[in-house]
């Protein structure tokens, strides 16, 4: 599935909810489905800088695609990173680098987060793109 198709799926899912309390609950539920990072990757170098809560992201290359795993010590943040992992995991570095993140605005996520969480979201996206850049440079 392409990144754009996944993003459209997420936008459709969020459009089913009438208010933001339901959307927050859904984000928390998504966090429970997150492919968890192995404990050995919960290191300082895998922490996303710029997040108020701790978020770890690990990336591995598999047959030309990047598989991401992550975790967070905050339930809402865990849901946010789960959305990003779902969107960008198992995609090629080029696809990740070329992808836009307009779907985040479409679901209204950034505007319904506190400024520190919104900054954290931007930092998570930036880190995922940095991993893609690094894997792209290797190939």
Kindly list the catalytic residues.
51
Distances in Å between the Cα of 119 and the Cα atoms of 86, 116, 126 are 20, 5, 11
Please give the backbone phi and psi of residue 38, each rounded to the nearest 5 degrees, phi first.
Answer: -70, 145
Cβ–Cβ under 8 Å, residues 42 and 56: yes
In this structure, the dihedral spanned by the alpha carbons of residues 99, 104, 107 and 4, taken in order and rounded to 10 degrees, is 10
Please give the backbone phi and psi of residue 49, each rounded to the nearest 5 degrees, phi first.
Answer: -75, 140
Cβ–Cβ under 8 Å, residues 34 and 70: yes
């Amino acid at each position: 599935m392409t990144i754009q198709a996944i993003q459209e799926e997420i936008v459709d899912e969020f459009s089913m909810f009438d208010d933001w309390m339901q959307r927050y609950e859904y984000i928390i539920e998504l966090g429970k489905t997150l492919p968890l990072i192995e404990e050995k990757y919960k290191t300082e170098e895998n922490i996303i800088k710029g997040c108020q809560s701790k978020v770890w992201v690990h990336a591995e290359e598999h047959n030309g695609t990047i598989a991401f795993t992550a975790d967070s010590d905050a339930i809402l943040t865990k849901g946010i990173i789960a959305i990003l992992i779902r969107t960008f995991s198992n995609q090629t570095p080029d696809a990740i680098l070329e992808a836009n993140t307009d779907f985040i605005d479409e679901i209204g996520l950034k505007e319904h987060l506190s400024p520190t969480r919104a900054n954290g979201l931007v930092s998570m996206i930036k880190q995922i793109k940095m991993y893609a850049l690094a894997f792209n440079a290797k190939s």
